[in-house]
């Protein structure tokens, strides 16, 4: 019955509403019952007329002493009424609702919900919501559900229709095992669906929300953990025979490791000794020292007589890693090669020959590493930098080269709840400590009136040898968004603002080799000011760049703004980040002020999640970010509780053969969750 298609006769509504509901994703009785409220109005308590307050919503019950339709001078219909209870009388007014005169009459009992307003020197209720007293109230006098609406499908309409079929909620078969429901003290599925729509009190509503939120997160975690366990079961890996004393590498470093770096290196070395390949994600803020972790793993792989590979999203970043790792690992005699698209055919052939023969210990490159014709002699470690730029497909290609250990690095801090959701199939390490001496970047919100002064100061800094990033939100001018277009802004800056300095333009529509060349020129000091879109968010390392100017800063999330800011502050000079915003909204000011107060990317990511939600933080269509109706990714404790339950289930029965109902739900949800 609950799978029955929506039918106009069943709902006793107009045929055209069926099409409107379908546009909202509602095609069956089941869909309608699973169309959950987006919020609630607490209108449980009735107020007497003489106790009503002007600064809050009042719910009052009484009888109509009078009700009449009138016309204003402008020709509009106005319905006037007088409500009375045992404590007094209250004038009521509605506009353009003449049908109320046919619905109610003198002496009718009525419940009204609304705010008081002074009109012509006296208090009255203007256009309140109304409902007849009944055994079960739907629209007032209770915890009132408010649904996502369309132009014609209102919350009031949905409340009426959902309540008429609510008894069918009992038809939902619970898929969670009884032991789990009892262990977690969860409400049954049918009861949760009933009370999410029409809870009799706050306690029942909270229990319904807890159960449905648990389900949403539970299936996401089940799917992720199943992949994690299957990775271990399906991939055999001979533990590396490693000398755990990596003191020679550590003592060769020109700096001391932080406690966080030492901890994560230990986690990586422990993974090497497991009978299945490592699948670990290391998250670290800008400047936290992720490259050293990669170098430590590569060193250990070399000691064990194995090869390593490091893949980066761009050629300039690959070359940057090559330069840094040669410096860190050259004392130990590693043969390190670079494999990128711009190499000559002869140079590529030479690198491929060394990889296949085993004489190359470490190869660093772009996606050229996973092209046809690349063969390894004994690949045991793959490091993927900025792992969110790559997908499972790339991981599986490396898997064909003997099931190597996979170490992913990300300089994009995201809240732990999102990491456990988006990357739930990987073990997670957090670099939450910056090396000593890392200078803080001075961040300022610059008002438009001070733009000229900022340009003069920037020009003076360039004259002293510093370099500058200027980031704009759009490539070309938009008629709908009044944002700085990078192409137009570049021309303006060249001609009117910095005519004496060398500027370059960078945006995502340029060809890869063109982008790499521009970034190379900037890195080599041939360009003073780089005018760019968000493509500079990750990767380029220019120690001489000390100024980041961001146009339309309110259009970016905090995590992304922090990534931009991290492009400077990498050298000896004091660095600055200037934020320009066209928005005067409270939300924009609040977010940008966070940039001034917080230097930690993890702190900013948590604030961003709290203020904007997961879809906006990580990209609305970003693969892996779930569309949650009830659950919140702000509640780490609850997510960890759900994950522990999912882990227990999968550890005991990875293929869920003893839980066919759960397995069927996963099959239904898998496409939507991956």
Tokens of 333: 């005699």
What span, in angstroms and rounded, lies between the C-alpha atoms of 590 and 587? 5
Structure tokens at 193: 């669906």
Last residue of a domain, one of 87, 119, 141: 141
Residue 221: is its pLDDT beyond 80?
yes
Is the model's pLDDT at 457 over the cut of 70? yes
161 CB-contact burial (10 Å; exposed 0-12 / middle 13-18 / buried 19+): buried
Taking only the tens place, the pLDDT of each residue in 128-164 is 999 898 878 888 888 999 999 988 899 999 999 999 9
Specify the pLDDT at position 467. 97
Instruction: Give the pLDDT confidence score for residue 1 in this predicted structure.
Output: 60
Does residue 620 register a pLDDT over 50?
no
The percent of residues above 70 in pLDDT, for the chain, comes to: 92
For the chain, helix, strand, coil in percent to 5 are: 45, 20, 40
Contact 247, 199 (CB under 8 A): no
Residue 243 CA to residue 233 CA, distance in Å, equals 26
Q: Tell me, what CATH number does 567's domain have?
A: 3.40.50.300
Maximum C-alpha span of the chain: 98
| Residue 558 covered by a domain | yes
pLDDT computed for residue 539 by the predictor: 60
Confidence bin at 622 (pLDDT 50/70/90) = very low
Gap between the terminal Cα atoms of the chain: 30
Q: In the predicted model, is pLDDT for residue 612 greater than 70?
A: yes
Residue 672's pLDDT band, with cuts at 50, 70 and 90, is: low
Residue 83 CA to residue 427 CA, distance in Å, equals 64
Report pLDDT for 14: 66
Q: How far is residue 477's CA from residue 192's CA, in Å, rounded to a whole number?
A: 49
Average pLDDT over residues 436-443: 83
Report the SS3 class of residue 453: helix
pLDDT of the residue at 157: 92
pLDDT at 479: 55
Residues 452, 593, single domain; the answer is yes
Are residues 497 and 356 part of one domain? no
**3-state secondary structure string across 578-624:** EECCCCCCHHHHHHHHHHHHCCCHHHHHHHHHHHHCHHHHCCCCCCC
In a domain, 192, yes or no: no
Are 318 and 312 within 8 A, CB to CB? yes
Question: Is residue 337 located within the same domain as residue 381?
Answer: yes
* One domain for residues 298 and 356: yes
pLDDT digits (tens, 9 = 90+) for 556-610: 888 889 989 988 988 889 999 999 998 888 888 898 999 999 988 888 888 888 8
Q: Tell the residue number behind the tokens 């001018």, with chain if given.
A: 477
pTM: 0.78
Three-class SS state of 101? helix
Query: What is the percent of the chain with per-residue pLDDT over 90, rounded to a whole number?
Result: 57
One domain for residues 114 and 166: no
482 with 558, same domain: the answer is yes
Sign, Cα dihedral of 429, 433, 436, 442:
positive
pLDDT tier at 673 (50, 70, 90 boundaries)?
A: very low
Report the alpha-carbon distance of residue 445 to residue 47 in Å, rounded.
Answer: 47
Tell me the residue length of the chain. 674
Q: What values do phi and psi take at 510, rounded to 5? A: -75, 155
* pLDDT at site 12: 63
* Domain stops at, among 578, 598, 618: 598
Q: Within 10 Å of residue 158's Cβ, how many Cβ atoms? A: 23
Residue 480: pLDDT over 60: no
pLDDT at 391: 61
Give the residue carrying structure tokens 């733009």: 451
Determine the Cα–Cα distance for residues 514 and 560; give it in Å rounded to an integer.
24
Q: What residue numbers bound the domain in which 26 lies?
A: 1-41+154-171
CA–CA gap between residue 43 and residue 58 (Å, rounded) = 8
Phi-psi region of 501 (alpha: psi -120 to 50; beta: other; left: phi over 0): beta
- 36 near 193, Cβ under 8 Å? no
CA angle 54, 56, 61 (to 5 degrees): 85
Q: Do residues 334 and 480 share a domain?
A: no
Residue 214 lies in a domain: no
| Burial classification of residue 35, based on how many CB atoms lie within 10 Å of its CB (0-12 exposed, 13-18 middle, 19 or more buried) | buried
Q: Which two tokens stand for residue 93?
A: 């007014």
Are 664 and 452 spatial neighbours (Cβ–Cβ below 8 Å)? no
How far, in Å, CA of 589 to CA of 608, rounded?
Answer: 13
Q: Say if residue 500 is in the same domain as residue 361.
A: no
Residue at 404 is within a domain: yes
The pair of three-digit structure tokens given for residue 268, joined into one six-digit string: 């990586």
Q: Which of 180, 174, 218 is nearest to 194 (CA)?
A: 174
**Tens-place pLDDT, residues 17-68:** 888 888 898 988 999 999 999 999 888 888 999 989 887 889 999 999 999 9
Average pLDDT over residues 435-440: 78
Is residue 344 domain-resident?
yes
The candidate with the shortest Cα–Cα distance to 129, out of 154, 107, 156, 102, is 156
pLDDT of residue 621: 41
Indicate whether 654 belongs to any domain: no
Residue 565 lies in a domain: yes
Select from 95, 120, 141 the last residue of a domain. 141
Across the range 617-635, mean pLDDT stands at: 68
> Cα(626)–Cα(642) distance, rounded to whole angstroms?
15
> In this structure, what token pair is assigned to residue 212?
């449905």
Q: Examine residue 636 and state whether it is found in any structural domain, yes or no.
A: no
| Token pair listed for 436 | 């000593």
Above 60 in pLDDT, residue 552?
Answer: yes
**One domain, residues 514 and 533:** yes
Do both 51 and 37 map to the same domain?
A: no
Same domain, 363 and 449: no
How are beta strands 129-131 and 109-114 bridged, if at all?
Answer: antiparallel
Please tell me the total count of domains within the chain.
4
Residue 392 has pLDDT above 70, yes or no: no
What is the torsional sign of CA 9, 12, 17, 22? negative
pLDDT tens-digit profile of 157-203?
A: 999 999 999 999 999 999 999 999 999 999 999 999 999 999 989 99
320 and 393 both lie in a single domain: yes
User: In CATH, what number is assigned to the domain containing residue 81?
Assistant: 2.40.50.140
């Amino acid at each position: 019955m609950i799978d029955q298609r929506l039918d106009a006769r069943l709902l006793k509504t107009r045929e055209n509403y069926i099409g409107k509901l379908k546009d909202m994703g509602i095609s069956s009785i089941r869909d309608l019952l699973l169309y959950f409220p987006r919020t609630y109005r607490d209108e449980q308590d009735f107020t007497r007329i003489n106790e009503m307050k002007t600064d809050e919503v009042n719910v009052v019950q009484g009888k109509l002493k009078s009700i009449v339709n009138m016309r204003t001078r402008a020709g509009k219909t106005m319905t006037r009424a007088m409500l009375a209870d045992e404590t007094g009388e209250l004038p009521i007014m509605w506009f353009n609702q003449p049908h109320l005169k046919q619905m109610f009459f003198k002496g009718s009992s009525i419940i009204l919900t609304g705010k008081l307003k002074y009109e012509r020197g006296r208090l009255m209720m203007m256009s309140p919501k109304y409902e007849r007293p009944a055994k079960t109230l739907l629209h007032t006098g209770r915890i009132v559900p408010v649904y996502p609406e369309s132009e014609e499908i209102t919350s009031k309409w949905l409340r009426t229709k959902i309540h008429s079929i609510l008894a069918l909620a009992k038809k939902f078969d619970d898929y969670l095992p009884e032991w789990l429901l009892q262990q977690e003290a969860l409400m049954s599925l049918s009861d949760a669906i009933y009370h999410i729509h029409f809870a009799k009190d706050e306690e029942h509503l909270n229990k319904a929300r807890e159960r449905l939120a648990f389900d949403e997160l539970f299936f996401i975690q089940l799917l992720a953990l199943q992949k994690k366990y299957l990775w271990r079961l399906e991939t055999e890996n001979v533990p590396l025979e490693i000398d755990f004393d990596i003191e020679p590498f550590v003592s060769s470093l020109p700096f001391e490791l932080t406690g966080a770096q030492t901890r994560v290196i230990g986690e990586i070395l422990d993974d090497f000794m497991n009978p299945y390949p490592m699948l670990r994600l290391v998250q670290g803020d800008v400047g936290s020292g992720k490259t050293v972790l990669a170098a430590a793993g590569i060193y250990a792989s070399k000691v064990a007589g194995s090869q390593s590979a490091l893949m980066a999203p761009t050629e300039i970043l690959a070359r940057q890693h090559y330069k840094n790792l040669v410096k860190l690992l050259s004392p130990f005699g590693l043969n390190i090669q670079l494999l990128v698209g711009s190499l000559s055919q002869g140079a590529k052939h030479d690198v491929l020959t060394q990889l296949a023969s085993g004489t190359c210990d470490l190869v660093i490159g772009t996606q050229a590493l996973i092209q046809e014709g690349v063969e390894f002699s004994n690949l045991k470690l793959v490091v993927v930098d900025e792992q969110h730029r790559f997908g499972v497909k790339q991981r599986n290609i490396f898997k064909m080269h003997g099931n190597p250990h996979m170490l992913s690095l990300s300089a994009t801090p995201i809240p732990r709840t999102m990491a456990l959701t988006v990357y739930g199939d990987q073990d997670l390490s957090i670099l939450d400590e910056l090396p000593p001496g890392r200078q803080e970047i001075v961040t300022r919100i610059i008002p438009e009136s001070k733009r000229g002064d900022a340009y003069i100061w920037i020009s003076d800094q360039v004259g002293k040898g510093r370099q500058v990033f200027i980031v704009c939100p759009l490539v070309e001018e938009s008629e709908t968004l009044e944002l700085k277009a990078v192409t137009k802004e570049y021309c303006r800056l060249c001609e009117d603002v910095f005519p004496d300095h060398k500027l370059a333009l960078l945006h995502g529509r340029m060809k890869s080799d063109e982008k790499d060349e521009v970034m190379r020129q900037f890195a080599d000091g041939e360009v003073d000011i780089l005018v760019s879109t968000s493509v500079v968010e990750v990767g380029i390392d220019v120690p001489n760049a000390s100024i980041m100017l961001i146009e339309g800063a309110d259009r970016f999330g905090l995590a992304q703004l922090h990534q931009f800011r991290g492009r400077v502050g990498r050298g000896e000079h004091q660095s600055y980040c200037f934020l320009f915003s066209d928005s005067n909204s409270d939300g924009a000011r609040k977010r940008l002020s966070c940039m001034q107060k917080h230097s930690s990317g993890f702190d900013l990511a948590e604030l961003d999640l709290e203020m904007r939600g997961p879809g906006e933080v990580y990209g609305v269509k970003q693969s892996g970010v779930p569309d949650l109706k009830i659950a919140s990714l702000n509640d780490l404790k609850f997510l960890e509780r759900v994950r522990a339950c999912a882990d227990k289930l999968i550890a005991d029965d990875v293929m869920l053969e003893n839980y066919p109902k759960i397995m069927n739900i996963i099959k239904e949800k898998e496409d939507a969750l991956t």
